[in-house]
A and B are shown apart, each in its own frame.
Chain A
Amino acid sequence: MKFDVIIIGSGPAGYVAAIRAGQVGLKTAIIEKGKIGGMCLNWGCIPSKALIESAKLFRKISKDAAKFGIEGIDKKSLSFNYAKAVKRADVIVTRLTSGVEFLLKKNGVEIIKGEAKITSENTVTVNNRNLEAGNIIIATGSKSVKPKNAPDVVVEVNDLFTDREIPAHVVVAGYDAVAVELAQLFSVLGKKVTLISPADTLIPLADPYLFDHLVSNFKKQKINIVYNTTLDDALQAYASNSLDINGESIKCDLLINASPRQATLPASDVQFELENGFLHSDKDCQTSVSNVYAVGDVNGKSRFAHIGSAQGLHVINKIKGVRQKLDLKKYPINMYSIPEMAQIGYTEPELKADDVDYKISEFPLSANGKAMTEGTNEGFVRILSDNKYGEVLGVQIVAPHATDMIAEASAYMQLESTIYDVANTVHAHPTISEVFMEAGFEAVDKAIHK
């Protein structure tokens, strides 16, 4: 059977590419050995966000209910049923994955369940079927590095959102969004949490300003942080539900492996050039073999679902002759911490390294009416802009819905907008987004409500 495009992997990079390929009239097949939707839908973004929402509601009820005028809640009998929260997440996951399956079929994409093997630059075998393809897109994602001979206390992220008990002392090993979100989730649920980072930061891609905010937040939430310690280090220091690190004894009933992940490479007779274990690919995501592309986690360019999707779309467009540019700096990165954090564009250290003449304009949530009504005042919008033309070079947000608010910044970045455009964009009142406009005013001249 001959296809225009064969896509291996149905995570957000693969399935989005498949739907688009179908839309533009390419004969397309998508091969999935596990579950449609991949890590993001089944074990990552979606279930974790569902649980974080449960946790936020739990916290609001236990902490703020009385303040908001809701009486009759007996704090003592208030408890969190992890298994039920997971069940709610499952319903969402099922709905989304079947939605993806529907969309694939609707757009004429053939779904093949099985493990693919690339046998040449334009042939793939799956379930003893030989498929021919004009183009192959590898979207096999990434996987966790499982420690050898790990004790039972170690749990993979994929096994976390199941019907299980979460013990009192949780240790999360890793950094970046996944580790940070899990640490905060379990802390809100009343667990004693320690976050062990393999580096001297918690969010390597983020501006240090966001990092500092996060650390002070963790301190308030009494989350213990240990830097420069890998999962292997932790396991060496592990003995009977306790970690002995730097002379400190940390209780550990559950050790979550959220360590940096490695590429899931597909079986292949064709040799691909690798880069730090990931599939090397050029600016258009083409691998070292022509007509074979790598999108999403597997190419090591980024670990975010939406960036994988964007790469998938880019490749289909390229196949159809539409020339575009993939600019990773124009994609937002989100963190579902409490409150949320989001960032796009350049960070301060990057601008300094490039010798850019920039300025910072920040406006806090503390003076924002809508934020107050929601019972929060923590957060800010921070704009980094170029001094010469006023171009918006980077935006960082901490706010209850920072991950939604960053979309505005994405549009500014995509359109190469200036701080004047930000200031001239009218924001409805009362909204937390008004803070964005105020930061724009601040950048041009002076904020109104400061």
Chain B
Amino acid sequence: MKYIFNFPDIGEGLEEGTIVEWLVKKGQKVESGDLLVTMETDKVVAEIPSPKTGIISSLFGKEGETIHVGDALVEIEIEGVAGKEAVKEVEKGSDLEAVKEEGAGVVGTLEIAGNSAVLSGSTEGIGTIEVTKETAKKKVLATPVARAMAKDMGVDINHVKGTGPAGRVTKDDVLQHAESTTQTVSTASSDTPNVENKLVEVEPLSQIRKTIAKNMIRSKHNAAHMSLFDDVEISELDRVRKQYKVKYAGEGVKLTYLAFIVKAVTHALKKHKALNSEMDTENDKMLYKKYYNIGLAVDTEKGLIVPVIRNADRLSIREIAMEIQTISDKAREGKLNMDDFKDGTFTITSYGSIGGKYAVPVINYPQAAILGIGGISKQPVVKNDQLDIGLVLPLSLTVDHRIVDGGEVSRFMNTVMSYLANPVSLIME
């Protein structure tokens, strides 16, 4: 008997969900309770278990597709009479596939999408790199006419949502896609006279972009942002860095200013606990954290991600430098996993290497503060009543003013600056 399992209501008021990943294949045998599919809704990412034991005879919808509650999800052949031999064959094949997929770990990275405390919660940049590659490799299911039409109209058929059987892209889908794209363009730029379609490039929001948007707004809504700017003269730090840089380089370690800054910040956080805390308004409590996980905002092609250096206070500057290097390599290769983003307590955003002196960074909510590092430059400074050439590092600190009072902000900044100005003190404590 064939049993059609509809997408169940898995949360209050839930109307639709996106298929993140199929965990089963057509022809695969499933036990009741085996996981069928990972669905992402606006609230959670959930794995949906099979209600029946049997053989999957159809999957409705493909990965990335949105389906409504009550729509058919899978068809399960219960007690498949359709030839046991055939079933066995398929089973063999699908076992191999399953093993392969485990290695990819895509599910793991996406599990807490949209539901995370850290900005990097969605980190889809990492997980999805693999997903996207895989889809691109696969030939999209489309009818011959749809292909010819898409080619002719300059529509990328990979972006067209198919409504045909098994998600096949039909002629109508291409027409509708073309039409909706044109419509979006004309409304978006309605105030520009004589709009040509080409003036606006329309792209669907990526998951990472959605998460960034959500987290930014959440931070701005919930925290009372206040910023402080200052400069610190770091000629001494520069001297120390240069002294060790070459030596470390020989050992394969790239000694950056950032490693010193991370160290300075962790020392300062120990002295100013409010900046390493979180406000729990639901329970009327302050949570002062005795661990120091420093998030580093990293600019990637896909968007902003914030991997974390764990227990930075227990690491030497050399170890921090190595850790920074590992993180940035992983970020570039898209190999960061969920653990690399968890439990940050304070964030540093280092935009200066790209450009800019001061900024008003947005707090990585619910953390209490974020430190922005501007570009280091040679500037006239007064030393011992003499005009001198100094190496100046501009700092921008944003705090949640609900948690940290103005005086403490300045005191924290002073502490950070004094460590940076006298790098020897960094190792004295």
Q: How far is the CB of A125 from chain B (nearest CB, A)?
A: 29
Contact (Cβ within 8 A) A389 B2:
no
A99 interfacial contact with B, CB 8 Å: no
- B102-110, B144-152, B297-305, B367-375: which lies at the interface: B144-152
B112 interfacial contact with A, CB 8 Å: no
Contact (Cβ within 8 A) A321 B71:
yes
Contact (Cβ within 8 A) A389 B4:
no
Given contacts A24-B4, A25-B1, A322-B72, contact A389 B143 (CB under 8 A): no
Query: B6 contacts which of A321, A389, A391, A420 (Cβ < 8 Å)?
Result: A321
Query: A323 contacts which of B71, B146, B170, B171 (Cβ < 8 Å)?
Result: B71
Q: How far is the CB of B296 from chain A (nearest CB, A)?
A: 46
B257 interfacial contact with A, CB 8 Å: no
A25 and B76 alpha carbons, distance in the complex (Å): 11
B229 interfacial contact with A, CB 8 Å: no
Contact (Cβ within 8 A) A391 B145:
yes
Closest to A25 in B: B3
A120 interfacial contact with B, CB 8 Å: no
A257 interfacial contact with B, CB 8 Å: no
A388 interfacial contact with B, CB 8 Å: yes
- 1/0 per residue, CB under 8 A from A, across B136-161: the answer is 00000001111011001000000000
In the bound complex, residues from chain B placing their C-beta under 8 Å from that of A390 are 145, 148
B70 interfacial contact with A, CB 8 Å: yes
Query: A389 contacts which of B7, B72, B145 (Cβ < 8 Å)?
Result: B145
A200 interfacial contact with B, CB 8 Å: no
Contact (Cβ within 8 A) B3 A24:
yes
B291 interfacial contact with A, CB 8 Å: no
Q: How far is the CB of A4 from chain B (nearest CB, A)?
A: 12
Closest to A419 in B: B144
A88 interfacial contact with B, CB 8 Å: no
Q: How far is the CB of A287 from chain B (nearest CB, A)?
A: 21
In the bound complex, residues from chain B placing their C-beta under 8 Å from that of A391 are 144-145, 148, 171
Closest to B52 in A: A25
B60 interfacial contact with A, CB 8 Å: yes
Q: How far is the CB of A201 from chain B (nearest CB, A)?
A: 31
Size range of the chain A interface in the assembly = 20 to 34
- 1/0 per residue, CB under 8 A from B, across A10-51: the answer is 000000000000011100000000000000000000000000
A107 and B145 alpha carbons, distance in the complex (Å): 38
Q: Which of B42-96 contact A (CB under 8 A)?
A: 60, 70-72, 75
Contact (Cβ within 8 A) B4 A320:
yes
A415 and B7 alpha carbons, distance in the complex (Å): 27
Query: B171 contacts which of A317, A322, A416 (Cβ < 8 Å)?
Result: A416
Contact (Cβ within 8 A) B2 A23:
yes
A418 interfacial contact with B, CB 8 Å: yes
- 1/0 per residue, CB under 8 A from B, across A345-380: the answer is 000000000000000000000000000000000000
- 1/0 per residue, CB under 8 A from A, across B1-31: the answer is 1111011000000000000000000000000
In the bound complex, residues from chain A placing their C-beta under 8 Å from that of B146 are 416
In the bound complex, residues from chain B placing their C-beta under 8 Å from that of A416 are 143-146, 170-171
Query: B145 contacts which of A23, A24, A322, A418 (Cβ < 8 Å)?
Result: A418
In the bound complex, residues from chain A placing their C-beta under 8 Å from that of B165 are 324
Q: Which of A197-222 contact B (CB under 8 A)?
A: none
In the bound complex, residues from chain B placing their C-beta under 8 Å from that of A24 are 2-4, 75
Contact (Cβ within 8 A) A320 B144:
no
Closest to A417 in B: B144
A46 and B366 alpha carbons, distance in the complex (Å): 74
Size range of the chain B interface in the assembly = 20 to 34
A121 interfacial contact with B, CB 8 Å: no
Q: How far is the CB of A319 from chain B (nearest CB, A)?
A: 10
Given contacts A321-B6, A322-B60, A415-B143, contact A23 B148 (CB under 8 A): no
Query: A417 contacts which of B4, B7, B75, B145 (Cβ < 8 Å)?
Result: B145
Q: Which of A107, A324, A391 has the most CB of B within 10 A?
A: A391
Closest to B71 in A: A321
Q: Which of A397-421 contact B (CB under 8 A)?
A: 415-418, 420-421
A322 and B67 alpha carbons, distance in the complex (Å): 11
Closest to B149 in A: A389
Q: How far is the CB of A84 from chain B (nearest CB, A)?
A: 39
Closest to B3 in A: A25
A418 and B165 alpha carbons, distance in the complex (Å): 18
Closest to A389 in B: B148
In the bound complex, residues from chain B placing their C-beta under 8 Å from that of A323 are 71, 163
Q: How far is the CB of B159 from chain A (nearest CB, A)?
A: 19
Q: Which of A107, A390, A415, A421 has the most CB of B within 10 A?
A: A415
A417 and B143 alpha carbons, distance in the complex (Å): 7
Query: A320 contacts which of B72, B145, B149 (Cβ < 8 Å)?
Result: B72
Q: How far is the CB of B71 from chain A (nearest CB, A)?
A: 5
A420 and B149 alpha carbons, distance in the complex (Å): 14
Given contacts A24-B3, A25-B3, contact A420 B144 (CB under 8 A): yes
Given contacts A416-B170, A416-B171, contact A25 B4 (CB under 8 A): yes
A247 and B145 alpha carbons, distance in the complex (Å): 54
Contact (Cβ within 8 A) B144 A421:
yes
In the bound complex, residues from chain B placing their C-beta under 8 Å from that of A417 are 143-145
Given contacts A322-B60, A323-B71, contact A418 B148 (CB under 8 A): yes
A321 and B143 alpha carbons, distance in the complex (Å): 24
Contact (Cβ within 8 A) B6 A320:
yes
A418 and B145 alpha carbons, distance in the complex (Å): 6
In the bound complex, residues from chain B placing their C-beta under 8 Å from that of A317 are 72
Closest to A420 in B: B144
In the bound complex, residues from chain B placing their C-beta under 8 Å from that of A388 are 152
A25 and B4 alpha carbons, distance in the complex (Å): 8
Ranked nearest first, the 8 interchain pairs of A and B with the lowest CB-CB distance are A416-B143, A389-B148, A416-B145, A391-B145, A322-B72, A321-B72, A320-B4, A321-B71
18 further contact pairs, Cβ within 8 A, besides A321-B4, A322-B4, A416-B144: A23-B2, A24-B2, A24-B75, A25-B3, A320-B6, A320-B72, A321-B6, A323-B71, A325-B163, A389-B145, A389-B148, A389-B152, A390-B148, A391-B144, A391-B145, A391-B171, A415-B143, A416-B146
Question: Taking beta carbons and an 8 Å cutoff, which residues of B are in contact with A?
Answer: 1-4, 6-7, 60, 70-72, 75, 143-146, 148-149, 152, 163, 165, 170-171
12 A-B interface contacts by CB (under 8 A): A25-B4, A107-B1, A320-B6, A320-B72, A321-B7, A323-B71, A389-B145, A391-B148, A416-B144, A416-B145, A416-B171, A418-B144
